[in-house]
């Protein structure tokens, strides 16, 4: 059974979490949604070029409101209000904003 994960917040912790799961060989965990404020292209760039952990080894593709790291598209939302987030299809949300 695959556990679907959403990430709320795409700062250092959110990006490191996504990179770690994407680089792992696990096929029982899937990131399906991210809430990240700011332009999606900027967030993809920050994921690709981390100043501490180095360059993300895989391909990162942005298309519309999704980021794809080669394991399927990840839906990206952008809101500061948690009441507006649509976590449909998500089993677990990781709170990575530090606000809640």
- The predicted structure's pLDDT at residue 29: 95
Residue 10's CB: how many other CB atoms inside 10 A?
26
CB 7 within 8 A of CB 16: no
Cα(28)–Cα(44) distance, rounded to whole angstroms?
A: 24
- The predicted structure's pLDDT at residue 25: 82
**What fold is seen in the domain 3-95?**
Rossmann fold (3.40.50)
- The predicted structure's pLDDT at residue 98: 83
Domain map of the chain by residue range? 3-95
Look up tokens 């939302």; give the residue.
77
CB 1 within 8 A of CB 83: no
pLDDT category, 99, cuts 50, 70, 90?
Answer: confident
- The predicted structure's pLDDT at residue 90: 98
pTM of the model: 0.93
């Amino acid at each position: 059974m695959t556990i679907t994960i959403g990430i709320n917040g795409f700062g250092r912790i959110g990006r490191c979490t996504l990179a770690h799961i994407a680089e792992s060989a696990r096929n029982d965990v899937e990131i399906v949604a991210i809430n990240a404020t700011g332009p999606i292209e900027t967030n993809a760039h920050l994921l690709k070029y981390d100043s501490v952990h180095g360059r993300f080894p895989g391909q990162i593709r942005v298309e519309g409101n999704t980021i794809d790291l080669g394991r399927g598209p990840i839906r990206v939302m952008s809101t500061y209000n948690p009441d507006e987030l649509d976590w449909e299809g998500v089993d677990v949300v990781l709170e990575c904003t530090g606000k809640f």
